Structure 1
Amino acid sequence: MTPTKLLGRLVGIFVITTIVFIILYGVEKTRKTITTENRTLPLATTTDDVCFTPYCVKAANYLIESIDETVEPCEDFFHFACGTWIKNTRIPDDVSAQSPFNLLRTQLYYNVIDEADIEATGVDPILSLVNTELGGWPILQGSSWSSSTFDLSNLFLKLRKYAYNIIYRIGQSDLALGQKQYYANETNITIAYRQLIRELAMALGNDTSMIDQDVNDIFEFEKNISKYHWTDDEQRARYDETVRTTFNNLSLTFNTTFDFTDYVRRSYLLGNVTLQDTDVVAISEIEYLNNVSLILQRASPRTIQNYMVWRFILSRTSDMPQHIRIIRQRFDRIFRGTNTERPRTARCGSFVNRILGFAVSKLYIKKYFDENAFNESLEMINNIRDAFIEMLQGSTWMDVESKTKAIEKAKSIDQHIGYPDYLASDNNTKLDKDYAEYTFNSSYIRNILKLLEIFAKENFQLLRKPVDKKDWDEYSAPSVVNAFYDPSTNRISFPAGILQIPFFNKDAPKYLNYGGIGYVIGHEVTHGFDDTGRQFDKDGNRIPWWTEETIKKFNERKTCIINQYSNYTVTQIDMQADGNLTQGEDIADNGGLRGAFFAYQKWAANNKNVDKRLPGLQKYSSEQLFFINYAYNWCIKMTNAYAVNRLRIDVHSLDQFRVTGPTSNFDEFDRAFGCTPGQGNSRKDKCSVW
């Protein structure tokens, strides 16, 4: 299959008329001058050490348009580095926050789909599936819905066919509102959520005789489930409670009136996989599973049916006609702080990239990826890994045995950079095989449902596929703008999508690259030694490999990080951060910044007078610009709703704390900017794990 034919296959999936890729460094925005009316920047006495390449001019522009020199960097480095950017940035109506990182993601590709077809198709395909496969949605049928044919196991199974894990996985599933805190008290969000259920039901059906009671029952049912839902930090703290058993002993481990063993067995048959008695099963959140099973046992069939189908309907609102999406948007305005729906082009692009990432990547890398990125990234990875090993060697709290094993693990870290080799080949045999079933010629929504079926089946089939630690994971497709660490393979991954401005450019001074993608590399390396990663050895086995004394010292240092970040207040919404929730990412942020900086220092010592300064920013040293570019990548402007959601749900700290936290702990930052410990951006008692 040629790339043109491969693209044609993608086009057929969504009745797409055009796919146009827009890459940041392929988009030339109208440039502003280096100097601005309200700022006079010092000029160097000589231009010999100033970089005037097109890239340096571009980098100088975006940093000058971000820095606010009225703010003292030692007092508030985030607003020093991002203040002007924040003042001049408008949050688009369709998103709840804007940042350079988000801009990079949305500019990766753009496609146009047939909106007229979606409107013409309407909601009939969804309602047909609900009625013929799921047993109907009682809220639409009033008193005419009968529980005589209700079959809980069959309902779970039918939803699993379309990749839905509602209530159950082999562990807990998710909640519609994300976290249990949202259900604890009556708020504008819970009111809006019930209104969303009611309005969608009104829009999809005509019988309103029981709608109010059904809405309340759906909400109360989910509220009861939420009481037993484990938060992310609870899951992290109770990770040791995961039970591993064999499939034939599953019923002994999880003994409820609901036949969980039969459900799991029949689920895997959807992927033509027959479970053996000796297959190993890992069950998490058993306490949740037992309690929720009791809730299911006591609830009426109507309530269960209403809730399960409601969650399915909710997840598919974005694929329905505009009048349905408008209803959803009214809720999102309250819950997420967005004023309009995200463009269908962007949503479709995200979906295509998630489901068909490697096919999309084939086209992307052929046209846009710079091969120099691979070699330079590999060099940086090796330099930063060496810097991290030196940090390990300099550790005063690890005993010799644990330190030796930690160094062995760091040396053993594997890496994926850019894309798998087969995508660069003209031979498309592997892509043809991987996407053999991905041929569609129906309406948009029907094609979506078929994709979900394929996605579910492929997930089940993973159980019998041989494990190849060199394989690229589906979540790290080359076109993804992100980076990853996998503790089970001890591997870091940097897809091609993130190897671009402002994180990386082959023509950039190294202080910008090390402050950008270098920090990202250091962050992912450090994940191998955070509160979760440190539980896996160099081969990815989750076994004890540190001494108890070293674990104790690690936990003491980790506690310092937790307390530091828990004391941060988001003044915009007057809420405290949760250091327990974000501890793993905070450890990685702190270690990543240190590792990248030390690696850059070593590179600069061996390559004197190579890096030149940026025009208009000559007053800043290369080390200062390292930190400034690091901070720039976390500039953000957000709605209140977005900030609340991030604080409650995200394991990453809010972006301003990802700047102030690591820099305030770093002596080298103080030295670079002349800060005195005790100033706003310099802690006296610095926290350091690595």
Structure 2
Amino acid sequence: MLKTQVMSMLDYKWPLLDEKGSPSSTDILSKIYAKIYAKTGNLGTNSLFSMSVEPDSKNVTNYIFVIDQVYFGIGRNQLVNATSPQNKPIVEAYKTYIKQSMMAFDSELEDDELKRIVDDVFNLEAELAKSSRSQEERRDSNSMYHMKSIEELQQETPAVNWLNLINSILDIVNITLKADERILVKEPKYCNSAAKLLRSTNRTTVYNYVVWCMLRALAPKVDPTFRELEFAFQRVTKGLKKSEPVWQKCIRALQNAAADALGRLYVDHKFSAEAKDDMNQLVAELRDSFSILLHENQWMDKETKKEAYKKLQSMIPKIAYADWLTNNTYLNNRYKAVGEISVEDSLINILSNFTHNEAVHDLKKIHTFHNRTEEWISGSAVVNAFYDPEANSITFPAGILQSPFYEYGLPSPTNMGAIGMVIGHEITHGFDDSGAQFDDEGNLRDWWSNDTREEFNKKAKCFVEEYGNIKDEQAAMNLNGENTQGENIADNGGLREAFRAHRVAIAKTGAISSPALPGSGAQFDDEGNLRDWWSNDTRDEFNKKAKCFVEEYGNIKDEQAAMNLNGENTQGENIADNGGLREAFRAHRVAIAKTGAISSPVLPGLEKYSSDQLFFMSAALVWCSSSRTEELKQLIQYDPHSPGKYRVNIPMGNFDEFTKAFNCPSTSRMNLRDKCVLW
């Protein structure tokens, strides 16, 4: 069934052995690419160039056409350094996956032919990876802002007919751009290198690679044979012992292809209005908590702090679901391009209809107004939370508003420690190493003074080094303090924010109102525009503090993976984790203070714990997880979040209030000697 439908869609078999009877390079980059996009959207065209319609980072009210580098079938580092002992098992498993997928389409291929085709496809992907930039390099949003006309791109990169390629994609919504249309090219060097590579590569190899990328994304969702092949691959890369149940794969596919429809079903059957109202109050308390942290901040100058307060006040909370989700007329129109489907249809046809609808929905946005209040970054049936820098919004879908993150009616320390810490985490993302590049409106703009930026970088470096120095014993790898910098900052800040709110809830300490922050989210303003709104002095101060997180996490070696954490890659998340914890604690204290109670109601069996201890226990519970060694190594190398246990132990070890709550001696591993603090 799958083989027949793919060949019918492409008009060519797969894989092809030689150039005889193969499509021309022009056809691959127009007709075939367009056919795949029309059926599968970005799901199936993540092979050569990523093409989408997104808000203009420096004018976020306007949607524009965007070209970017792609993601790969395995990690970028594994493709670039394919022969290293650490990467070789994954590379071999990936080649086997490609080989067996080709055999599923053509069982008569000779071994020598098959090996040659597989090697050619892999080598093309590896060369594309070498032309791309790493996650760490892409943390600077300004480095990815290159506006140019299609004509200018054509002159710089003549190996690809860009106007033809772009218009072949837009043809499904009957939109045609002219050569003078200005588009955003995020990675010009990648586009140029990739285009030259395509010109010098056998077109049969290009075709085989493009189709392979579509199949690895689509086939396991709809075909039992490919599900088994994917599972065999994941046994090596993730250490899986048994395959994910088919029903879970179906739900996951629907989350991508029909997120709003699935969200409506979830909200109608599994979500209560009381929870939404309660969350609105919690978000308000966490925002107040961050405002107080900002008021007490000693490393930001007055002007940058004023801009930061403006961004905080302009931050849009999106809780549970959008109002339009319950509007049947809107939803029917939203899925109009799906067309007629029946339970008798094949799964691949149903999924293709929905992914086609998503492609139409996204492409039609070009030249339209981006409403940062109405647009949601996620569906509602998702267990996650988000900060969107180009909307300057924080989103908490209905799916996350359940145990262990939240339960309506539980005592304040329990919810404040869990979902409160997550709220603080997302708020902090607006002021981590990435979010700090965007101003109050969401535009890419530098709003930091040089001095503040320097101070921030010093503090952020602490986190990069702190996490980067951790070696995970299981993985036998150090964490990536650089890649996780933003998340680590958010983890630490979120904890502090939540704790402050928790503390104010216990006993009033005097209300402080003030104008009520940088990393990746702080690159965006209050409306989500990529804009520099930091003074130079404030930016410098921020960077000093952020450096602490990079080093702190980067120095951690995970014993299981036997790898150090990536303090750089996880910097933003680490800042958010630390800040979110502090914000949530402050909000917890505020909430208790409002009730006039020194201690809150306790849960059965937990009577011996203080409200502060319950707060930290709840915060720790949400990151409780266990990973197989193979998966842990992947997480350390590529995930912007630090592994779960470090998202608990490091932010809490950095926080004096935690050590006080549990009377940790100075020699305790949970009482870090050199504490990183940013928010």
Quickly name the TM-score band, shorter chain normalised.
Answer: 0.7 to 0.9
Distance 1:334 1:461, change over 3 A: same
1:393 Cα deviation after fit: 1.0
2:633 is equivalent to residue 644 of structure 1: yes
> For residues 437-480 of structure 1, what are the alpha-carbon distances to aligned partners after superposition, in whole Å with 9 as ceiling and x for unaligned?
3331331112222222222222211113322222142x422221
Is the Cα–Cα contact under 8 Å of residues 413 and 490 in structure 1 kept in the other structure?
yes
Instruction: Provide the C-alpha distance between the structure 2 equivalents of 1:148 and 1:414, rounded to a whole number of angstroms.
Output: 49
Equivalent in 147, 152, 158 of residue 28 of structure 2: 152
> Please, which moves more after superposition, 306-315 or 592-601?
306-315
Match of 1:350 in 2: 252
> Please, which moves more after superposition, 414-423 or 588-597?
414-423
Equivalent in 457, 465, 468 of residue 555 of structure 1: 457
**What amino acid does structure 1 have at the position aligned with 2:7?**
L
Match of 2:350 in 1: 447
Is the Cα–Cα contact under 8 Å of residues 336 and 357 in structure 2 kept in the other structure?
no
> Please, which moves more after superposition, 390-399 or 411-420?
411-420
> For residues 619-671 of structure 1, what are the alpha-carbon distances to aligned partners after superposition, in whole Å with 9 as ceiling and x for unaligned?
21110111111111111111111101111111111111111121111111111
Match of 2:203 in 1: 301
**What amino acid does structure 2 have at the position aligned with 1:671?**
K
> For residues 217-262 of structure 1, what are the alpha-carbon distances to aligned partners after superposition, in whole Å with 9 as ceiling and x for unaligned?
111222222222212111114742531123443324x423112233
Q: How does 1:148-547 map to 2 (within 5 A)?
A: 149-150=24-25, 151-154=27-30, 155-161=32-38, 162-163=40-41, 164-169=45-50, 170-186=67-83, 187-209=88-110, 210-237=113-140, 239-252=142-155, 254-276=156-178, 279-424=181-326, 428-438=328-338, 439-441=340-342, 442-473=345-376, 475-547=377-449
Distance 1:381 1:148, change over 3 A: closer
Distance 1:299 1:592, change over 3 A: same
Match of 1:128 in 2: 8
Is the Cα–Cα contact under 8 Å of residues 246 and 279 in structure 1 kept in the other structure?
yes
1:385 Cα deviation after fit: 0.8
Is the Cα–Cα contact under 8 Å of residues 360 and 479 in structure 1 kept in the other structure?
yes
Higher relative contact order (Cα pairs below 8 Å, separated by 6+ residues): 1
Q: How does 1:65-144 map to 2 (within 5 A)?
A: 121=1, 123-130=3-10, 132=11, 135-139=12-16, 142=17
Match of 2:620 in 1: 631
Distance 1:669 1:158, change over 3 A: same
Is the Cα–Cα contact under 8 Å of residues 526 and 588 in structure 1 kept in the other structure?
yes
Is the Cα–Cα contact under 8 Å of residues 659 and 671 in structure 2 kept in the other structure?
yes
Is the Cα–Cα contact under 8 Å of residues 374 and 418 in structure 1 kept in the other structure?
yes
Instruction: Provide the C-alpha distance between the structure 1 equivalents of 2:28 and 2:205, rounded to a whole number of angstroms.
Output: 12
Equivalent in 653, 665, 670 of residue 681 of structure 1: 670
* Unaligned segments of structure 2, at least 5 residues: 51-66, 508-592
> Please, which moves more after superposition, 542-551 or 353-362?
353-362
Match of 2:608 in 1: 619
Is the Cα–Cα contact under 8 Å of residues 123 and 321 in structure 1 kept in the other structure?
no
Match of 1:588 in 2: 490
Equivalent in 564, 578, 581 of residue 480 of structure 2: 578
Distance 1:672 1:244, change over 3 A: same
Is the Cα–Cα contact under 8 Å of residues 154 and 160 in structure 2 kept in the other structure?
no
**What amino acid does structure 2 have at the position aligned with 1:181?**
Q
> For residues 189-214 of structure 1, what are the alpha-carbon distances to aligned partners after superposition, in whole Å with 9 as ceiling and x for unaligned?
11111112222222221331321211
> For residues 570-601 of structure 1, what are the alpha-carbon distances to aligned partners after superposition, in whole Å with 9 as ceiling and x for unaligned?
11110011111011111111111100110011
What fraction of aligned residue pairs are identical, expressed as a percent? 31
2:654 is equivalent to residue 665 of structure 1: yes
3-state DSSP of counterpart to 1:638: coil
Instruction: Provide the C-alpha distance between the structure 2 equivalents of 1:183 and 1:545, rounded to a whole number of angstroms.
Output: 36
Distance 1:377 1:462, change over 3 A: same
Specify the structure having the higher radius of gyration (Cα).
Answer: 1
> For residues 149-184 of structure 1, what are the alpha-carbon distances to aligned partners after superposition, in whole Å with 9 as ceiling and x for unaligned?
453322333333232231212121111113233441
Instruction: Provide the C-alpha distance between the structure 1 equivalents of 2:2 and 2:166, rounded to a whole number of angstroms.
Output: 34
Instruction: Provide the C-alpha distance between the structure 1 equivalents of 2:439 and 2:351, rounded to a whole number of angstroms.
Output: 40
Instruction: Provide the C-alpha distance between the structure 1 equivalents of 2:101 and 2:269, rounded to a whole number of angstroms.
Output: 43
Instruction: Provide the C-alpha distance between the structure 1 equivalents of 2:635 and 2:641, rounded to a whole number of angstroms.
Output: 8
> For residues 19-49 of structure 1, what are the alpha-carbon distances to aligned partners after superposition, in whole Å with 9 as ceiling and x for unaligned?
xxxxxxxxxxxxxxxxxxxxxxxxxxxxxxx
Distance 1:381 1:264, change over 3 A: same
**What amino acid does structure 1 have at the position aligned with 2:647?**
R
Instruction: Provide the C-alpha distance between the structure 1 equivalents of 2:308 and 2:411, rounded to a whole number of angstroms.
Output: 32
Instruction: Provide the C-alpha distance between the structure 2 equivalents of 1:467 and 1:122, rounded to a whole number of angstroms.
Output: 38
> Please, which moves more after superposition, 579-588 or 169-178?
169-178
Superposition TM-score, scaled by structure 1 size:
0.78
The alignment covers a number of residue pairs equal to 561
Superposition TM-score, scaled by structure 2 size:
0.79
3-state DSSP of counterpart to 2:380: coil
Instruction: Provide the C-alpha distance between the structure 2 equivalents of 1:679 and 1:265, rounded to a whole number of angstroms.
Output: 62
**What amino acid does structure 1 have at the position aligned with 2:3?**
V
**What amino acid does structure 1 have at the position aligned with 2:131?**
Y
1:146 Cα deviation after fit: 2.5
Is the Cα–Cα contact under 8 Å of residues 599 and 611 in structure 2 kept in the other structure?
no
**What amino acid does structure 1 have at the position aligned with 2:75?**
G
1:403 Cα deviation after fit: 1.0
Instruction: Provide the C-alpha distance between the structure 1 equivalents of 2:231 and 2:256, rounded to a whole number of angstroms.
Output: 23
Instruction: Provide the C-alpha distance between the structure 2 equivalents of 1:502 and 1:549, rounded to a whole number of angstroms.
Output: 41
Q: Normalized per residue, which structure has more strand?
A: 2
Match of 1:19 in 2: none
Distance 1:274 1:506, change over 3 A: same
1:286 Cα deviation after fit: 1.5
Is the Cα–Cα contact under 8 Å of residues 676 and 682 in structure 1 kept in the other structure?
yes
Instruction: Provide the C-alpha distance between the structure 1 equivalents of 2:630 and 2:20, rounded to a whole number of angstroms.
Output: 38
Distance 1:315 1:361, change over 3 A: closer
Instruction: Provide the C-alpha distance between the structure 2 equivalents of 1:197 and 1:503, rounded to a whole number of angstroms.
Output: 39
Instruction: Provide the C-alpha distance between the structure 1 equivalents of 2:660 and 2:413, rounded to a whole number of angstroms.
Output: 16
1:616 Cα deviation after fit: 2.2
**What amino acid does structure 1 have at the position aligned with 2:336?**
A
